[in-house]
Structure 1
Amino acid sequence: MEAHKERLDAARSDVHWRIFNDLDMKDEAEMLELAHFLQILLDHAPTSAPVSPPQSADVQKNILGAESDDDVEVDPEEMRSTASTGQQALDLSAIKIAGLTGDTQSEEYETVEYTLPRGPISFDTACRVLEVYRKGGRLSAKGVKKILREHYKMLKEMPNVCEIQVPEKGALNVVGDLHGQILDLLHILDQGGLPSPTNRYIFNGDFVDRGDMGLEICCILMAFQCALGAENVMLNRGNHEEYTICQVYGFQNEVKRKYDDLTFSMFVEVFRYLPIATIVDSQVLVLHGGLFHRNGVTLDDLRRVTRIDYVPKPTDAPLDYNTLEDPQEREMWYLSELNRDALWSDPVQEDIREPNPRGAGVIFGPSVTREFLSNNNLRMVVRSHECVREGFDLPFDDEDLGILATIFSASNYGNSANNGAFMRFTKGKRPPNSLLAGSADAADAPAEPLWYTVTSYSTQEGAGIEDLIKSNQTNLRELVLRKKSELIAAFQEVSSNGEDVSVQQWTEVMTKVTGLMIGWPLLKSHLIPASALKDDGNTVVFAVFLDRFHSLLTQTVGTEEGSSAMMDALYANRQRLEAIFRWFDTDGNGSISQEEFTRGCELINETLPEGEQLRDIDRIRRLIDFDDSDEIDLNEFFEAFRMVDAADGQVDGVIAIASR
């Protein structure tokens, strides 16, 4: 009986894990679409437009500037530079954060700052940065900018594809996505040890977004790379280290909240120079996403990419660059596509190569992987980018087992109850419980093989299947809200009486409209209320089914506790609305002036056909400006959308009066 229950629980977990992954990929595709919209504005607005990318003279001045006079000198006996050895000479317990004890933050937190010492960033300085953040403190704005300046200078001298060696009597650790979750980084550094010449690290992108401490993670990693050099610490670029993506996913808000817009712009400029990939001992390629849209790709091709020009979804891309007559233009588009592939692609078990549902890159199978490895004399690909249940996964089977691995280091990512993990490479004598890098075929083993072990963990105690189910239910409800008008039209099209559909028809419509190939019948009891079912549960009254979602939301309206939940749930497009608000708010002061609103609407109109353009712009502005202050704040912006949404008597995410 107990074994049967365990099997049922495992099957239940598998179903909800697949749902989580599909929803996560769907979300990323939609966010990429929003980023694409913002990129259209960037590309087509005049240079004086409010959406110009962060390339201002202030950014260049600060990122290329000399060391600030406000950096402080310290006693050389206290701060002995040990970057050349990587040994810790600093007593980290000497760092005192006023008002902090243990993990408890006091009201003094905002005023406690650590200023970096004058001179190059040493290993001791990097350790201090780590401990300041561990204790809940913060760096001064000048300290953050100093790290960015030093890192920028280093990155500009680095190639697209870097190389690193596993130390003879040490190890090389590979860390996957961290997504602003600093507890996972602290755990990895505690378990794996601090970076040093005998304990090297590759951090494989997606340091920022989703979690709320991406800035601190970046400062720690950048400081250690500045201190120890790229031969000991490597940072690869992830798909989230890009202006439009980290604008819609939260990093921009995080940095502006903690410092200012100039600091965010400096981060974006540094991100442009992060390398695409790192090769380990001429055997293992480590890159964030995956492999490429065609065969024959070489490492030399990747080395020719102009990485600073990367955009996730270019607005003027040709349908097929192979048809271009100009060979230089054809080459440019080929290389830019490789860059997107490297950051966005995902492996699948099927032996295919197809466009990625994420909206960029491809999905690819084992044959594509083997061809690339053989073509470039490599044994293995290590990539991240994809949340996997144990933090580590070998997606291919049988003779292809081991030629590609996924490593993901953010535990309980999105309340999915996943583990995080990191890989540890060594060479020489095989360690216990280790795997051979590459194919397990003994005949294929190199003269000096690399071995790796995997450490899996969770820093989120108590996370389990119920949290995953709750997260999925919330995300599915939000998706249904966003798609409600499309669902109504699709249900009416297949219904024989305009009121109900069979469960099979319900499944087909849900799959078609949401784009999710998941087990909808298994979710019937979670999504469809009993009042929407008839004929012994075989027929769905779709109006009642859809009404369930706005009913769940309106239960919270009118209470202070519920208003935030309503906003989060109703505005599954909350991030989209905030991104649009920030686009209008050109001076970043938290409100949209009359001039900003008019200018933004005029720019939008320039991209729209004549019959679809916004009209009577000033009247629209006055309707949103509830307090008649000639400025629109974020609350007014959201309230306007809520009122329009509710104009049909239902708070359901459908703007019913939009076409009146």
Structure 2
Amino acid sequence: MGCSNSAAKEAKKLETSVKAALLIQSWYRCYKARLELRRRQALSIFESIEYADEQDQLQLAKFFTFMLENYTQKKEENSVYQSIASIENQRLDTKTVLRMVEVPDSYEGPRLMFPLTYSDVLLLIKAFKENQILHARYVLEVLVEAKKVLKQLPNITHIMSIETKELTICGDIHGKLDDLFLIFYKNGLPSGNNRYVFNGDFVDRGKNSMEVLMVLFALFLVFPNDVYLNRGNHEDFLMNLRYGFTKEITSKYKKHSAKILHYLEEVYTWLPIGTLIDKKVLVVHGGIADDTDLEILNKLKRNKMRSVLMPPSTPSEIELRNIQFPYNFQTSSMSLDQMPKDDWDQVITLFSASNYYEEGSNRGAYLKLKKDLIPRFFQYQCSQMVKSKTLHESVNIVESTAFRILGEKLIARNSELMQVFKMYDVNKTGKITFYEWGKAVGQVLEMDLPWLSLCPRLAQRTEDGYVYYKMGFKKLTAINAPKQVKSGMFQTLVRYRRDLKIIFNVIDKDKSGLISLEEFRDIWKLFCSHYGIKIDEAHVDQLANAMDLNHDGSIDFNEFLTAFDVVHRLGDEPKP
């Protein structure tokens, strides 16, 4: 009898334990699901902002085109035109440049021998793992040698499969050296039997863009028939000004940065546009359209496209515009939304930079192809920080960064947002519905995001489900403005900051962080003219003198931003 009671108690305890375990397991799954939902929401914010940045780049392209068109007829000593034209036209004698850059005996980094061998590649990788910086002389020599080989390649590189050879395809690396080394660790270094295609965007964003570029170019020089490099939209000197690679070069190679930047610009233009595998698989950066035609791409003079922000404009450079092809390459009468789902499944987007937006934000991936051309995917995430943080901490970091950047977008368009909010507020109550708020924000920012679910994180709500739009947004950390900038004009500074940084860097030819008063006057008159900011030239001259606080005849970037704020405000003032 006693044994029976004891057994029953044990069975009940076991049942209770199992129920508790199942309850905890269910709770944890729900908890992880909520975190994953937050993480994906943050990623959708990052992706939408990325696409919005592309539109900003188009606007910047228009400005540079406007700048060149309006200054080509000016007198030769014009400082602004010289700054832009020097990027477009300057050529340096290679032998002279290399003689000017000597490697001192005190240099303890890797010493390369040309032509490069596999041993040099291993030496380079070892040095970069130890955080050593390659001397400017070797950087220049790698660029010079890479250009020689790249010039001999067609616009579209053709690869034919061999039974014993696999092919690995990598997407964007973006200066993430650890990701590149992790790929090599998992998949092996490139060799005659281990071929690679690197599909552009080697640089920008990450802090080791130069090291990534040097490793890839060195491997390309040692294995020209087994390492293939495509050009991405970040292999572009103006994009590098905007997204960080130029700053990295000037920081690491202060004395010789100008030489490196000039040679780098030239090498970019000779990178192939894409890679065609067995005449069946096209690897190209940025995707394809329904009217993509390889015959047209093969006839382009790719070295004429020095920047996507400054397209070629002379007759000799745009001769393909009037080419008549024997067939209409827009052969499909079917719209994209009518295409069978299986056709869409044949397009793969590949991204190889893990933790791209923030630590823990995403995994990287590469794929492998064999003779059957069936892709096999491999994912990874390279970060010591991610391992030391909990899932909750990692998601919080990603989410806070996403909302900070989104906050900058909202602040930049605050005036337009308020105008649209007021249109919905017919009775002038100062509040609108969630739906109206989401519709207004989506309309102004032109970003496809779940604004209704984001609203509680961004806007001031009422208890009855409305939004107090006049109270602005919740505390969203954006960029720090210079002290001289008034809060009412902060949105304009945020909106144009990146474009202004590129313009400032272009003018700042010696990379000193300063521009002359004359350069300042010229660029602001042009900027105001292009963006339709009506302002008396005397105001710009007066402002230029006022900005030079220490009377040294130059202006730094923060002063430059402050000046723009004042110019924009003056342009907005009603005329008497």
Q: Which bin holds the TM-score, normalised by the shorter protein? A: 0.7 to 0.9
User: Structure 1's 71 and 165: CA in aligned 2 closer, same or farther, altered over 3 A?
Assistant: farther
Contact 2:528 2:534 in 1 (8 A): no
Measure, in 1, the Cα distance between the counterparts of 2:442 and 2:175. Answer: 32
1:188 match: secondary structure: helix
2:175 match: secondary structure: coil
Contact 1:533 1:541 in 2 (8 A): yes
> Which position in structure 1 is the counterpart of 2:366?
422
1:407 match: secondary structure: coil
Within 5 A, what are the aligned runs for 1:370-381? none
Q: Structure 2: which 5+ residue stretches go unaligned?
A: 1-25, 484-489
Measure, in 1, the Cα distance between the counterparts of 2:38 and 2:150. Answer: 46
> Which position in structure 2 is the counterpart of 1:408?
351
1:637 match: secondary structure: helix
User: Whose radius of gyration is greater, 1 or 2?
Assistant: 2
> Which position in structure 2 is the counterpart of 1:138?
133
Deviation at 1:475, TM superposition (A): 1.5
Structure 1 residue 264 and structure 2 residue 208: aligned?
no
C-alpha offsets along residues 269-321 of structure 1, whole Å, 9 cap, x if unaligned?
A: 10001001111233311111111352xx443222112212234256799xxxx
> Which position in structure 2 is the counterpart of 1:80?
none
Counterpart of 2:117, as a letter, is S
User: Structure 1's 610 and 289: CA in aligned 2 closer, same or farther, altered over 3 A?
Assistant: closer
Deviation at 1:594, TM superposition (A): 2.2
Contact 2:533 2:572 in 1 (8 A): no
User: Structure 1's 571 and 331: CA in aligned 2 closer, same or farther, altered over 3 A?
Assistant: same
Measure, in 2, the Cα distance between the counterparts of 1:492 and 1:402. Answer: 44
2:426 match: secondary structure: coil
Select the residue among 1, 21, 34 that pairs with 2:60: 34
Counterpart of 1:49, as a letter, is Q
Structure 1 residue 581 and structure 2 residue 504: aligned?
yes
Measure, in 2, the Cα distance between the counterparts of 1:120 and 1:477. Answer: 51
> Which position in structure 1 is the counterpart of 2:440?
509
Measure, in 1, the Cα distance between the counterparts of 2:230 and 2:319. Answer: 30
> Which position in structure 2 is the counterpart of 1:595?
518
1:616 match: secondary structure: helix
Counterpart of 2:517, as a letter, is Q
Within 5 A, what are the aligned runs for 1:261-410? 261-292=258-289, 294=291, 297-310=292-305, 311-312=307-308, 329-331=321-323, 352-353=335-336, 367=339, 397=341, 399-400=342-343, 402-410=345-353
Contact 1:500 1:542 in 2 (8 A): yes
User: Structure 1's 232 and 137: CA in aligned 2 closer, same or farther, altered over 3 A?
Assistant: same
Counterpart of 2:60, as a letter, is L
Contact 1:481 1:549 in 2 (8 A): no
Measure, in 1, the Cα distance between the counterparts of 2:369 and 2:290. Answer: 29
Measure, in 1, the Cα distance between the counterparts of 2:143 and 2:312. Answer: 32
> Which position in structure 1 is the counterpart of 2:191?
196
Deviation at 1:605, TM superposition (A): 6.4
Measure, in 1, the Cα distance between the counterparts of 2:270 and 2:311. Answer: 22
Structure 1 residue 50 and structure 2 residue 50: aligned?
no
Deviation at 1:598, TM superposition (A): 3.0
Deviation at 1:55, TM superposition (A): 4.0
Deviation at 1:181, TM superposition (A): 1.1
Measure, in 2, the Cα distance between the counterparts of 1:656 and 1:610. Answer: 9
Contact 1:279 1:286 in 2 (8 A): yes
Contact 1:586 1:596 in 2 (8 A): no
C-alpha offsets along residues 343-383 of structure 1, whole Å, 9 cap, x if unaligned?
A: xxxxxxxx855xxxxxxxxxxx694xxxxxxxxxxxxxxxx
Contact 1:237 1:288 in 2 (8 A): yes
Contact 1:163 1:279 in 2 (8 A): yes
Counterpart of 2:220, as a letter, is Q
Deviation at 1:609, TM superposition (A): 6.8
User: Structure 1's 126 and 66: CA in aligned 2 closer, same or farther, altered over 3 A?
Assistant: farther
> Which position in structure 1 is the counterpart of 2:23?
none
Normalised TM-score (structure 2): 0.79
Structure 1 residue 485 and structure 2 residue 406: aligned?
no
Measure, in 1, the Cα distance between the counterparts of 2:101 and 2:84. Answer: 32
Measure, in 1, the Cα distance between the counterparts of 2:554 and 2:237. Answer: 27
Q: How many residue pairs get matched?
A: 510
Deviation at 1:180, TM superposition (A): 1.1
Normalised TM-score (structure 1): 0.70
Measure, in 2, the Cα distance between the counterparts of 1:171 and 1:327. Answer: 39
Measure, in 1, the Cα distance between the counterparts of 2:85 and 2:441. Answer: 39
User: Structure 1's 137 and 475: CA in aligned 2 closer, same or farther, altered over 3 A?
Assistant: same
Structure 1 residue 116 and structure 2 residue 112: aligned?
yes
> Which position in structure 2 is the counterpart of 1:527?
458
Deviation at 1:233, TM superposition (A): 0.5
C-alpha offsets along residues 28-59 of structure 1, whole Å, 9 cap, x if unaligned?
A: 322342244234324442375321252444x4
> Which position in structure 2 is the counterpart of 1:631?
554
Deviation at 1:153, TM superposition (A): 0.6
> Which position in structure 2 is the counterpart of 1:356?
none
Q: Structure 1: which 5+ residue stretches go unaligned?
A: 73-97, 99-110, 318-325, 339-350, 354-364, 368-395, 428-448, 560-566, 646-654
Structure 1 residue 253 and structure 2 residue 247: aligned?
yes
User: Structure 1's 315 and 496: CA in aligned 2 closer, same or farther, altered over 3 A?
Assistant: farther
> Which position in structure 1 is the counterpart of 2:399?
469
Higher-helix-fraction structure: 2
Deviation at 1:504, TM superposition (A): 1.9
Instruction: Name the Cα RMSD after superposition.
Output: 3.5
Contact 1:420 1:458 in 2 (8 A): yes
